[in-house]
Structure 1
Amino acid sequence: MYSFSDEVNLLTAIFPASYDRYIRPGVNRSTPLQVNVTFYFKSIKEFDESISKFSVTGALGVFWVDHRLTWDPNTYGGDLYTTIVPQKRVWIPFLVNMLMYEKLEEMGNSEMNVRVDSNGQLTWVSPNIFESTCDADLSYYPFDSQTCSLRFYAPGFIKNELDLTPVRNTMDFSEYSENALWQVVETNIYTTTNKLRLQEIVMTVKMKRRSVYYISSLVLPVALLSLLQLSVYIMPPQCGERVGFATTVLLAVAVYLTLIQEKLPEGSEPSVSFLSYKLLGDFMIGVLITVGVVVGLRFYNREEDKAIPNYLKRFHKIILGGGCCQNRNNRKVAWNDKDTRDATEKELKSVPQEETPRSPLTWCDIGMATDRFCLMMFGFMLINCNIVYIIVISSI
């Protein structure tokens, strides 16, 4: 078993005065230093679509070999295979996030430790809150999926000098904690070389928004309020509350839409959320419903001595089938015996049939036709607005 003095002697031996932590390791300078990188995913801290900010908590794991930090364990107690040194004493690949959200900051901390193995293998795990810019595509909000990335590179080094290699092609989820708003669908880690000949290691996170909250608190209430406006055409016009009811429900929709707009992002690329278009359509239909109520009440309260134009008569006939109130003089006949019944039937056949008299068309009939027309038309529009939205969302 190695002793305290063995480890002190080891650190003195592997860190002579000639060790320069600013010089890249590697005996053969024509061969790039391989730096293996992985990411230990802890949780999604925040994704603010309005300011394009994506932040996660986790740890960046970096592994490389420094040929200057090797020793024979038999010389130091026989079992001194690993030692721990402060980060500031060894060469460490300085990694920078290309998509940084705030100002440039050094990865890790100078007081953090690095594990050094006897074969020169260094293990550096740097926990942090990693922030990056991420432009969201909110076309299908709140049923959308987003893909955000962390792009790390080593400033000053090209691929021929330092080779960033992912340990695995996905992030490590052994310590992952679920997010209440986002569900991670897929992660990926790969390397690429940009136009500046700088090698980048890209870590992407594909996540899907949990939409149950938005359905219960946003989509369904607005849809139900819009359908509630249609019931105004079922109310009797004599109650005098039609306009007040329609206006109240319309104001409720407007207030609710104002609250919703605070949750919706102000902008989106490449297009605005389809939900914004749907809500705008619902509100416009609500305005038309209120106008239809006012027009119908004008017909109900029009003086009966004013003549009804022919186009309104044709409109009434198309909507209600021309069925005005008809007064039929139903004749009651007592069927006492067969002879009397036969005589009566002959008498009725011999009498010319007169046309059943119709009651004159009134402005109330025009108002009823207007209510029927508005109920069918606006109901059809609301149903189609919701069906189109469902079809668009189901195409994801």
Structure 2
Amino acid sequence: MILIGRTPYATCQTAANVKALRTKLFTTDGYEPRVRPIDDQSLPIAITVDLYLLAINDLSEVSETLKTTAFLGLEWEDAFLRWTPASYNKTEYAFWPQVEMVGGSKGIIMDYYEANSGWDIIDSSWSVDTETGDSTINFSIRLRRKPLYFMLSVIFPIIALAILNLCAFLLPNECGERAGYAITVFLAFAVFLTIVSSSLPQNSESVSLVAIFLIIQTTCSTLITILVLALLRLGSFDEKDEKVAVPRVLTFLMRKLKWKSRSKCSKVETEKDGKMHDSQSSLPDASESKVSRIEMPTQLHENRLFKEASTVDEFSWKEVVVFLDVVLFVIFAIILTTSLLGCLVGAQRNAVN
């Protein structure tokens, strides 16, 4: 709330000068406010109009309307309010009534205030400003939102959607609904962002922590949707028609993290079967000794080639996809926890300040 009044510009030394001047203008001269203040009544009065803009409250681009807080300043020369300054102790300016704003000792009195269901008043203050030539008193009220309704209707649903977003990596890659699940969660975030944005002030100087957290989770949902589609494509590389080798970088990471490979286990079993077959074939047989001597080098060469191929194809693409699901789940879970804790710490600091 802002109240504006005029400061005393009268330069006289005593109240007698002001009384004598007022008596002369309004009593002796018989000032009549209903008569246009100009000697030649056939001429128009020149009025200077200035608009003092205080704030822009709302701008509607659809209806093309602008709501502002402002006041008009009007100035004109009154031909009936003239005097000789020397006759009144050099009084050049005078205003009636002469007002100067003075704040009360209690500031804002809330003896009759009814508590609001959504906001708490945590502080109030007032100040007087006379630097602009006008005496202005400003009353300020600091409000804090009651968090229960906002937590139940906004914060908890956002956190629940963020947790559901991580569950996209828990679905098996063979599940046909995996991509649809990720896209559905992304659309839910987009709708929720629209709803929350409509209830928050459209201010570019300070963005609310809820909007920041929601934007972070919407971005993560976008990345998760893209990654899920990419993992579906990687899972198809094991097909015979488009057999693609696993990159060495992924193989190296899976070895360092001690990821168990099914193909490695099958390779060991195959080697054991090969050794048993070799031991059985090494038994002396008089009728087939010559044939065994000829087949032994060829069989050893095939086993060596099989070992090399098994070493190259140590992990299948299905195992790589499962490995990436675990890694991405952990990464996005860390992002969710970090962003949530950061917003909570920021909200606590704002509440203290």
> Scaled by the length of structure 1, what TM-score is found?
0.50
Alpha-carbon distance in 2 for matches of 1:250, 1:184: 38
- Asked whether the equivalents of residues 233 and 375 of structure 1 are also in contact (C-alpha less than 8 Å), the reply is yes
Alpha-carbon distance in 2 for matches of 1:50, 1:379: 42
The 5-angstrom pairing of residues 154-303 of structure 1 reads: 156=95, 161-196=98-133, 198-268=134-204, 270-303=205-238
Query: Residues 178, 258 of structure 1: CA spacing in aligned structure 2 closer, same or farther, 3 A cutoff?
Result: same
Secondary structure at 1:239 match in 2: coil
User: Root-mean-square deviation (CA), in Å?
Assistant: 3.5
Equivalent residue number for residue 251 of structure 2: 313
Equivalent residue number for residue 333 of structure 2: 379
Summarize deviations over 1:190-224 as a string: whole Å, max 9, x none: 4332231x323332222222232222211221121
Query: Residues 392, 50 of structure 1: CA spacing in aligned structure 2 closer, same or farther, 3 A cutoff?
Result: farther
Summarize deviations over 1:161-191 as a string: whole Å, max 9, x none: 5444334232222211112222112223443
Which one has the bigger helix percentage?
A: 2
Equivalent residue number for residue 115 of structure 1: none
Query: Residues 296, 193 of structure 1: CA spacing in aligned structure 2 closer, same or farther, 3 A cutoff?
Result: same
Query: Residues 102, 310 of structure 1: CA spacing in aligned structure 2 closer, same or farther, 3 A cutoff?
Result: same
Alpha-carbon distance in 1 for matches of 2:337, 2:16: 69
State percent identity of aligned pairs: 22
Secondary structure at 2:174 match in 1: helix
Summarize deviations over 1:122-165 as a string: whole Å, max 9, x none: xxxxxxxxxxxxxxxxxxxxxxxxxxxxxxxxx9579xx54443
Aligned-partner residue type, residue 29 of structure 1: A
- Asked whether the equivalents of residues 189 and 203 of structure 1 are also in contact (C-alpha less than 8 Å), the reply is yes
Equivalent residue number for residue 51 of structure 1: 57
Q: What displacement does 1:236 show?
A: 1.8
Summarize deviations over 1:295-348 as a string: whole Å, max 9, x none: 222222213543222222123324x4242132577x9xxxxxxxxxxxxxxxxx
Secondary structure at 2:124 match in 1: strand
List structure 1 segments (4+ residues) > 6 angstroms apart after TM superposition: none
The 5-angstrom pairing of residues 66-85 of structure 1 reads: none
Summarize deviations over 1:259-308 as a string: whole Å, max 9, x none: 1111122224x333333222211111001111121122222221354322
Aligned-partner residue type, residue 226 of structure 1: A
Q: What displacement does 1:31 show?
A: 12
Count of matched residue positions in the alignment of Structure 1 and Structure 2: 228
Aligned-partner residue type, residue 393 of structure 1: A
Equivalent residue number for residue 324 of structure 1: 261
Structure 1 alignment gaps of length 5 or more: 1-27, 33-48, 54-99, 105-154, 332-354
Query: Residues 380, 364 of structure 1: CA spacing in aligned structure 2 closer, same or farther, 3 A cutoff?
Result: same
Q: 2:314 aligned with 1:363, yes or no?
A: no
- Asked whether the equivalents of residues 173 and 321 of structure 2 are also in contact (C-alpha less than 8 Å), the reply is no
Query: Residues 167, 381 of structure 1: CA spacing in aligned structure 2 closer, same or farther, 3 A cutoff?
Result: closer
Secondary structure at 2:128 match in 1: strand
- Asked whether the equivalents of residues 238 and 318 of structure 2 are also in contact (C-alpha less than 8 Å), the reply is no
Alpha-carbon distance in 1 for matches of 2:161, 2:131: 52
Structure 2 alignment gaps of length 5 or more: 1-13, 19-54, 60-67, 73-93, 273-306
Aligned-partner residue type, residue 51 of structure 1: N
Query: Residues 312, 169 of structure 1: CA spacing in aligned structure 2 closer, same or farther, 3 A cutoff?
Result: same
Q: Which moved more, 1:320-329 or 1:285-294?
A: 320-329
Equivalent residue number for residue 15 of structure 2: 29
Alpha-carbon distance in 2 for matches of 1:271, 1:183: 21
Summarize deviations over 1:107-132 as a string: whole Å, max 9, x none: xxxxxxxxxxxxxxxxxxxxxxxxxx
Secondary structure at 2:109 match in 1: coil
Secondary structure at 2:237 match in 1: coil
Query: Residues 173, 373 of structure 1: CA spacing in aligned structure 2 closer, same or farther, 3 A cutoff?
Result: same
- Asked whether the equivalents of residues 316 and 365 of structure 1 are also in contact (C-alpha less than 8 Å), the reply is no
> Scaled by the length of structure 2, what TM-score is found?
0.56
Q: What displacement does 1:226 show?
A: 1.4
Rg (Cα) greater in structure: 2
Summarize deviations over 1:230-260 as a string: whole Å, max 9, x none: 1111112222111011111111111111111
Q: 2:346 aligned with 1:392, yes or no?
A: yes
- Asked whether the equivalents of residues 300 and 364 of structure 1 are also in contact (C-alpha less than 8 Å), the reply is yes
